[in-house]
Amino acid sequence: MGYVPIFLIFLLAFLPALATAQNDAVVVTALRNPVNKSYKKMVEGEQLFNERREALAPRATLRFKLIPRKPDVSMDGVRLEVSSDSVDIPLKVEPDGTFTLKHDAKALKENARVVPNRKAGTMTWRADVRTPGLPPNVRRLGDLRMECEVGMESGLISDYPPGLFGWLDELLPRGPTYCHRDLPRYLYFAERPLWSVTLVDGERRKVLPVDRLYAGATRDPDWKDRIRYCDCEAIVDRTYFVPLGDANWPDDTLVVLEYM
């Protein structure tokens, strides 16, 4: 398999920044406003988690997570609500940026949005699936597989302007099946800048190539010209890909993160 051009590397993480060149204040006026997400899609992501949990991550819990896109963005005081014409439901955001949804039939019917009180381009979104009992720098591959499927189902990383990457729409399925590819470019974020990522399955260990870190920047001499289109823009040193679709690595594989 040949190397994929960098714009494919970013293809799933392509950025909300395209939709708003300026850091405009949050205004829920456009269907694809990059700062907010579809409540219905996120509920569908939860449903997928419940359906797939036994297979991928039987002991895990699901939360959603807001991740700062800039190093100096504080999560203090972040407020989040499910908002539609006649519904405003506040969601509690924990200090680590995670939250869960509240279910409301009226919000679903009115196609509500999940809206933070932050400017566009300051935060991005991911599913956060965690099996308890693991050290902070160790993830479980099944949890990450589930995060990808829920994230894709929920539309957390596909809010780039329609048409701009239309050819990508044809090239790649936009749903959870994308996560079943050997090397999907679904970006994960570590808590701190990464030095290495190692897969551990019993006695078998594999340090991932550096191209699986830093959003693939080591394969693209022009990465700085393109990084602004990635929701990893200012935290590229915390990003990594894992071989989600590689069945040689079972769900119980540990993904060990070593920080800089």
Partner 1 sequence: MKLFLASLALLSGCALPAFQSAERPLGPGEVRSAAEAQETLVVGETTKSDVRAALGPATTVDFASGYEVWVYRQPPVSPAPGAELVLLFDPGGVLAKMRVTPISDPA
What is the contact surface with partner 1 in residues (CB under 8 A)? 1-3, 71, 183, 193, 195-196, 207-212, 214, 216-219, 221, 223, 234, 236-237, 241, 260
- For the bound state, the minimum distance from the C-beta of residue 80 to partner 1, rounded and expressed in Å, comes to 27
Return all residues near 186 (Cβ < 8 A) that are at least 6 apart: 12, 13, 148, 151, 152, 157, 178, 179, 241, 244
Shorter beta-carbon distance to partner 1: residue 54 or 203: 203
Question: Rounded to an integer, what distance in angstroms lies between the CA atom of residue 87 and that of residue 39?
Answer: 12
- For the bound state, the minimum distance from the C-beta of residue 37 to partner 1, rounded and expressed in Å, comes to 27
Helix or strand run (H / E) with residue 123? strand 123-130
Identity at 153, one-letter amino acid code = E
Shorter beta-carbon distance to partner 1: residue 68 or 155: 68
Write the DSSP symbol of residue 36.
-
Shorter beta-carbon distance to partner 1: residue 113 or 212: 212
Helix or strand run (H / E) with residue 143? helix 141-153
CA-closest candidate to residue 89, choices 101, 71, 72: 101
Question: Rounded to an integer, what distance in angstroms lies between the CA atom of residue 225 and that of residue 223?
Answer: 5
Shorter beta-carbon distance to partner 1: residue 111 or 218: 218
How far is CA 122 from its chain centroid?
14
- For the bound state, the minimum distance from the C-beta of residue 84 to partner 1, rounded and expressed in Å, comes to 38
Give phi and psi for 131, each to the nearest 5: -85, 130
- For the bound state, the minimum distance from the C-beta of residue 175 to partner 1, rounded and expressed in Å, comes to 24
Shorter beta-carbon distance to partner 1: residue 85 or 182: 182
- For the bound state, the minimum distance from the C-beta of residue 185 to partner 1, rounded and expressed in Å, comes to 10
Write the DSSP symbol of residue 34.
T
Shorter beta-carbon distance to partner 1: residue 153 or 237: 237
Give phi and psi for 148, each to the nearest 5: -65, -45
- For the bound state, the minimum distance from the C-beta of residue 9 to partner 1, rounded and expressed in Å, comes to 9
